[in-house]
Structures are given as structure tokens and as C-alpha cells.
Structure 1
Amino acid sequence: MESFTVEFKSHFGRIYVNIKHPSLHALKYYDVTGLNEFSIAILEALTAHSYYYRSYLEMEKIFKVYVYPDGDLPIVHDGPCKDIYSTEGRFLHEMERGVGKFRTNDPNAAHVYFLPFSVTWMVKYLYTPSSYDITPLTQFVSDYVRVVSMRYPFWNRTHGADHFMLACHDWGPHASKGNPFLYNTSIRVLCNANTSEGFNPLKDVSLPEIHLYGGEVSPKLLSLPPENAPRRYLAFFAGGMHGPIRPILLQHWKNRDKDILVNEYLPKGIDYYSIMLSSKFCLCPSGFEVASPRIVESIYAECVPVILSNYYVLPFSDVLQWEAFSVQVDVSDIPRLKEILSAIPESKYKKLKQGVRAVRRHFTLNQPAKRFDVFHMILHSIWLRRLNIKLIS
């Protein structure tokens, strides 16, 4: 095929997709004003909702992913489906074993190519505990990319620009350094979406961290109290004192205020999720790394997330307007948390809570996957970055 260019321009209500590719429409124009398929709460939580909706529909119609068949279990074609890194395994399993329409067995029909290795399983099977030597991870990634680049023409055609990896483990960014093009050019879907450590939101995708204890969402987060039920606490956090932000939070608020419940560990007999469900706001400070499963847990509990982080690109922030369902507080303002949260009018709080309820579907793992759920949101984020790529073939 001759040289072709893929361009994507969003003008908040219009989409131009100028694509020359056998299975993509050439030159699409949408006037997408006036769509009303979503509720008001969902519209307010979406950035340029009509652009998102049309883009999503186009993705559903034509987007194809080729999953490289190379590599052996357990490090390739498998991943964790429970506990803190479950997003990694659940996406991989859905992509490889699900009944969805996005996977193609014809690499020439694909728009993107998936490198289906699991960084979490690399850490489990290749890393020597307490060695702090991640060379086995970067070497595995280097070898895998070398194999697919020698067996297939697609990596070399674009230097990996239309390829993606997905990792929820904290060391995902470090593992991607095994190949310089993977790190600098490919689409990296990462929970550890830290711009101070090389995450580039123009090409990389922020992956939500979802903690599934035993592989399932806690039943308490599936049976929520009535929407108008009173919430006893203004804000809540419980967690270990690690990373640069949590010590500041605990220093100022641990056992300091009856309205802001902050503990390193909850006293025996007090249930974590019960307190979440009894709180208006849930504090979500970064730990050693920027991502926190508390953000998604807060959304499940309809407890408005309060983001306390530096350099973190929030998941799906190219289409979700986080200001409509969360509060972002600068780390320097942690001493003023009560003042800031108490100053939010009740009417504004109710809108934030409605926004939380509206976006829950986008952070939900379903098996099999359902429209607009987290699996589809991840694919849509990859789709948007694929459309931003200019390829020479």
C-alpha cells in the first residue's frame, strides 16, 4: 500500500477522520450536535459527549485488533484476574478468549497489534524477590518484540506505533524500556500513568486499577444504600503509610477530626466498605505509585473521590470530565481538606454524586464484556490514539 496518513481532529461536536486504509471509511464527517442518548448526568460527566458517542460507535463498527499468537503460558496469553492487578488479566482474557467482535485473525485487517504479555506474571515468575533487579523483565520484553518483528512485517512498518501493550503492575513502565520503540513510540496502556516517569498522554492510555478480592467485587458495593440515605462522615481514608503523599495526609488528619476519618489501619471490627458507604467523600492519595484502586472503589460506593496525587493522568480523561464526579485537591492543600470539602454546597455534592453513579458503568468489569464498560473504554482509548498516528507504509 502507498503512504497513508491517519488524522483525527476533534472540535467538540465534530469529528473529521481522514483515513486511507482498506477497512476504514475514507473521509468521515459528522455533525453530531443534538444527540441525547445519555442522561443529563452522563452528559455532564463526558467531555464533548457527542464526539465521544460518535467516535465510540465508529469504533464498534470497524475497529480490529490482532493479538500476536507467539509466546507461551503463563507469561504470555494469561494474566491476573483477581486482587490488585486484575484489570491486566481481565482485559487479556476478554481479548483472547471472549466472544467480542474486535479481535481479527487476519493481521492485514488489523488497525492495532496487541503484545499479549503480562508484566505481573513476569514479576511472579522471572523476578528474584528483594533483588531489585528488573533486568529479566526488560530482557523478556526485548526478546518478545524481537521475535514478532522478525516473524511479521507490522512492527518494522511503523516502528511499533500501531502496537500496544497493557500492564497494571507498577513496573509496567520499566518493563516497556526493554525496547526503545515500545517505550517511546508504541501505545502503552498503564495503571502507573505518571507523567514524571515517561507516561505520554498523547500516545499512552491510563488504565484504571481495579482490586477484585477473590476475583469479584465485594457484595457490599453491589447493594448500595438508598440514594438519599445520610452519610455519617465527611471524608474517609484508611491505608498504609507509603509514598510521599500519605504521610502528609496522616500527619494532618489521623485521629484528628470526627468528620474526617483517617487511619493507617482500621480498628478491628470496623469494615472498610461499610465506612466508604457511610462517607460523602473518599480520599484517594497516591502511594508508592500514582494509581490507586480506591478511586474505582469510591465510584462503586458512590462516595465522591477526592484525588490527592501529583503527575497522575486520570483514566479515560480524554472523554470523561473528572470535575463532574470527583474533587481534585492539591497536595499542598491537604491541611485545608475539611475547609475545602465543607465549602462544597449540597447542590454541588448531589451533582457530583450523580456523576459518580453515571460513570460507574465505564469502570465496571463484565464477563462477558458489555457496551461502554471498562473493556470497551480501554479499547476506545486505544482507538483514539491509533487515529492520532501518522503512518508511512
Structure 2
Amino acid sequence: MMESTSLYLSPTIFFPNYQNMLNSFKIYMYTPPNPLSFSSPTESLFFSSLRTSPFVTQNPEEAHLFFVPFSSNLSTRSIARFVRDLKLDFPYWNRTLGADHFYASCAGLGYESDRSLVELKKNSVQISCFPAPEGKFVPHKDITLPPLERVTHASHAPGNRTARYLGFARYNGVKESNLLNELRNDSDFLIESQPSDGMTLVGRLGSSGFCLFEYGADISGIGEALRFGCVPVVITDRPMQDLPLIDVIRWQKIAVFVGSSGGVKEVKRALDRTCKDDECEGLRRLGVAASQHFVWNEMPQPYDSFHMLMYQLWLRRHSIRYARREFV
């Protein structure tokens, strides 16, 4: 019963395994080819957190995984050269063809012809931003960074919650879909561009039963929605395989997923089904609990985004040992 009602996919395994990770996990960081710069603040925060964490070891012989650091603007040719140098200078890549290595790249790597890049893309764990670039994410191997929250001055969902709107969505000003136009003309939904300040946004989240996100647009506010008790509704017409923390939490327990083809009627039907038998409150309660995992701290704290990302890497430490063979 606990397994089916829990936020976590396997709570009896997660908590002791998390403690084991804290006590045992070791990562060796290669020296980058040049000073690092990142295109995303989340990517930068991950790197600074990792660099100063107790997970890093100076002894590669005790490492479970190896981090390959390179800047966001580094060319694929330079990345390939960096990996080739690692092969020559260290014995660790060649033991697994890079399967016990990982790297961070919000842009993601494509499929290149260079052997080193092929091994990096195919075998190593890629840490991407969320949502991951289409065609540059390998499910079950790669990981996405929980998005960085933009509201930090309020710490939890407001009490005595009254839903003024059925749903709230922020329009990112880039592309307005047909569904968004339909929602804008329905008085049950509030659709607006970025609120003027953080308190206004908190008010929107606190007065809306659901927060709508079109997958592929700006979905970075999903952690904020969870924290303030606004149940995320992800609008997508294809399976989502790059959800943050997908190895750990039951997303169906904290969010609603609905297609766009049925328009507003389909969205409303999905929300009506969700709210039967007090299921809304269950989603909201577990969502608020899950929100602790979507917080990035300058000094990492237990169970925050950084530690949950490390836990997903920990789950991947038992890398596949590829047999060595000569390439033509």
C-alpha cells in the first residue's frame, strides 16, 4: 500500500540508498581544457555545487564515476579532442568506452561521426536542461536538471487556499498556440505574460487550482507550481521521457498530463477526472512535498535538486562494461 500511495517509485529502497550515496559516492573530475563558462545558470550552479561537494575525490582509483567538464560554447571538434586526450592520459575511459563517465550540456550533443564523440554521446550520461533538446536525449541513460526557481522569498504553499481560477498559464511571448488562444477566451483560466513581480506570481499560483504548461515551451516554472500548491498540468502529445527526477518520483502522483488535440474541452475533462474523490488534494499535498527536490541552494542541502541529481547519477554507477574492439 505504501508503494502505491507514496511520492517515490520505491520508498523502501530510496531512503536507505540515498544515505548510502552520501556515505560512499565518489566522483573524479578531469581538469577542463580551458576556464569553464555555461549558457545556463542551472548548469553553472550544478558545476559549482559538484566542485565543492564531498563527492569529489582526488583519487581516480576510488571513483564510481568520472566527470568530463567542458564549456557550453566549446565546439564539437574541441570536445572530441578533449576526450581523445583523456584516452591517452588516463586508463579509465577505455575500460568502459566512457560508460562510467558523465558530462553536462544544456544544448545536448548530436550524433557525430568522430569516434570519441560517438562514444561520449552513446555511452556517457548526459545531464541536460529541462526540457531537453529534441533528438538529443537518450531515455534511461541521460538526466535532466530540475529547473531553477525564480521565486525564492516565499517558502511554502499558502494556507487556506481558495482557487479563484481553474487554471493559470504564463505566456512566454515566443509562440502562442491554438490551445492557448482557446484558454485565453475561457473565463475559468487566467493566461498572461510574466507577472510584474514575484509576489504577483505567488498570488497567481496560490489562487489557481492548476498550472498549465505546454511541453516544449517555457516549462521551467513547474517546481514553483508544486511548491505553492498549484497542480501542474503538462500539455503534450507525446510521451515525456526527460522529466526531472523521473527515476525517483511518481510524476502521475503530482501532475496531470493531457493532449492538446481536444482543445479546452479535453483539458477540462482531464481536470474534472482528476478532482473526483478528493484526488486534487492528494496531488497538491504530494506536490508540495516533492517541491523540496526542485530547490537549488548555493550551499546544497539534503534532498535538494543537487542531491537528487547526484542520486540519479548514483543509480547509474553500475555501468555496462563494454568489450573492447578495434574500430575500422
Tell me whether the two structures share a fold, i.e. TM-score over 0.5.
Answer: yes
In structure 1, what is the equivalent of residue 172 of structure 2? 240
- Aligned amino acid, residue 92 of structure 1: F
- Residue by residue over 1:262-289, the C-alpha shift from the partner in whole angstroms, topping out at 9 and shown as x without a partner, is 235669999333212211110011235x
- Would you say the 8 A contact 2:69–2:103 is kept in 1? yes
Q: 1:153 aligns with which of 73, 91, 94?
A: 91
- Would you say the 8 A contact 1:166–1:189 is kept in 2? yes
- Would you say the 8 A contact 1:306–1:329 is kept in 2? yes
**Of 142-151 and 173-182, the range deviating more from structure 2:** 173-182
Displacement of 1:235 in angstroms is: 0.5
In structure 2, what is the equivalent of residue 281 of structure 1? 210
* Partner secondary structure for residue 292 of structure 2: helix
Query: Residues 222 and 177 (structure 1 numbering): CA distance in 2 closer, same or farther, change over 3 Å?
Result: farther
* 1:125-164 paired onto structure 2 within 5 Å: 137-164=75-102
* 1:110-259 paired onto structure 2 within 5 Å: 110-119=63-72, 122=73, 137-167=75-105, 169=106, 171-174=107-110, 179-192=117-130, 194=132, 197-212=135-150, 217-219=151-153, 221-222=154-155, 224-226=157-159, 228-240=160-172, 242=174, 247-254=177-184, 256-259=185-188
- Residue by residue over 1:273-310, the C-alpha shift from the partner in whole angstroms, topping out at 9 and shown as x without a partner, is 3212211110011235xx72021121232211111233
Stretches of structure 1 lacking an aligned partner (at least 5 in a row)? 1-33, 35-39, 123-135
- Would you say the 8 A contact 2:30–2:67 is kept in 1? yes
Question: 2-side partners of 1:282 and 1:51: how far apart?
Answer: 31
Displacement of 1:225 in angstroms is: 1.8
* Partner secondary structure for residue 66 of structure 2: strand
Question: 2-side partners of 1:374 and 1:139: how far apart?
Answer: 32
In structure 2, what is the equivalent of residue 338 of structure 1? 268
- Residue by residue over 1:328-381, the C-alpha shift from the partner in whole angstroms, topping out at 9 and shown as x without a partner, is 112324432123213422611110111111111111112321221111111111
Query: Residues 378 and 223 (structure 1 numbering): CA distance in 2 closer, same or farther, change over 3 Å?
Result: closer
TM-score, normalised on structure 1?
0.72
Question: 2-side partners of 1:55 and 1:270: how far apart?
Answer: 38
- Residue by residue over 1:96-142, the C-alpha shift from the partner in whole angstroms, topping out at 9 and shown as x without a partner, is 1x2x32110101110101112232xx1xxxxxxxxxxxxx6322322
Displacement of 1:200 in angstroms is: 1.9
Question: 2-side partners of 1:363 and 1:241: how far apart?
Answer: 25
- Aligned amino acid, residue 158 of structure 2: P
Stretches of structure 2 lacking an aligned partner (at least 5 in a row)? none
- Would you say the 8 A contact 1:236–1:261 is kept in 2? yes
- Would you say the 8 A contact 2:215–2:235 is kept in 1? yes
Residues paired across the two proteins, number: 318
Displacement of 1:203 in angstroms is: 1.3
Question: 1-side partners of 2:295 and 2:174: how far apart?
Answer: 27
Question: 2-side partners of 1:177 and 1:266: how far apart?
Answer: 45
Question: 2-side partners of 1:250 and 1:92: how far apart?
Answer: 36
Query: Residues 137 and 249 (structure 1 numbering): CA distance in 2 closer, same or farther, change over 3 Å?
Result: farther
